[in-house]
Amino acid sequence: MLIAASAILVLTPMFRDSGWLRGGRSFEPEWNYTPAPLVMRGGDPYIRALMRTISASESNSHRPYSLLYGGDHVYDLSRHPDLCITIVSGPNYGDCTTAAGRYQMLTTTWIDKASLYHPQRSFFFWQDYSFEPEFQDEVVYYWLNDSQAWGIDLSQLLQDGGINEVLRILSPTWTSLGYGIEPNAMTDALPHIYEQVLQEELQSSGIE
């Protein structure tokens, strides 16, 4: 969760929408799904692979961009859905969360980061930023590429083979990444998932 997973193993399962794991909810994994391709086109293949890896544990669904905490989906993505859903178990039991979309961004986090990175940003603090898939991708892409936001160049760290260090850096933000408070069934596989999707992204970008 954002704060402020065949007989031949494919590393990332697709969770059934009615039983997707959030905050300790039970689920029934279907081992036939890898993280969906991004809607956004172009960009650094290392950051793109990282984005898909984050979604492997945060929003593993065939429709990740419309996913709410708990497994339901919304159909109006003209803005962040801002629906506060009660957390049923885990360290935040009894609280509610507005986590939504491929990167399970809280409303407040979305507004804050969209004001910095959304391609349609303006100077009006009350603006409703479009939550359509391409904009979810672009906001997170530029956020992850902002070395000042993280205190380090994540792309360079990934190119140097530091996926585990990157997951550690990001885990206070996305708490399912392996060093946070809400690991799930996908957490241990994330470095392997990253290597899998990185090869796809490198091939798609023409980098061998």
SS3 114: helix
**What per-residue confidence (pLDDT) applies to 206?**
77
b/e sequence 10-31, b meaning 16+ C-beta within 10 Å: ebbbbbeeeebbbbebebebee
pLDDT for residue 17: 34
Distance of alpha carbon 164 from alpha carbon 170, whole angstroms: 10
Does residue 6 lie in a domain region? no
Domain annotation covers residue 1 = no
Tens of pLDDT along 109-130? 999 999 999 998 766 555 689 9
What CATH number did the domain enclosing 165 receive?
A: 1.10.530.10
Residue linked to tokens 């796809």 = 200
Other beta carbons less than 10 A from residue 147's beta carbon: 13
The answer to whether position 9 is within a domain reads no
Among candidate residues 25, 26, 29, the one with its CA nearest the CA of residue 11? 29
pLDDT of 3 reads 56
Count up the domains in the chain and report the number: 1
| Cα–Cα dist 59/162, whole Å | 23
Cα(first)–Cα(last) distance of the chain, in Å? Answer: 33
**Segment holding 200, helix H or strand E:** helix 190-205
Going by C-beta distance under 8 Å and a sequence separation of 6 or more, which residues neighbour residue 191? 163, 164, 167
Q: What is the pLDDT of residue 208?
A: 60
Residue 53 lies in a domain: yes
CB 67 within 8 A of CB 59: yes
Domain limits for position 134? 14-205
Query: Is position 61 within any domain?
Result: yes
Q: How far is CA 45 from CA 10, 98, 113, 141, 202, in A?
A: 21, 29, 21, 11, 6
Residue 138: its H or E element: helix 133-144
> Which pLDDT belongs to residue 10?
31
| 8 part of a folded domain | no
Do the domain assignments include residue 82?
A: yes
Q: Assess if residue 178 is contained within a domain.
A: yes
In which residue ranges of the chain is pLDDT below 70?
1-33, 122-127, 208
pLDDT of residue 182: 86
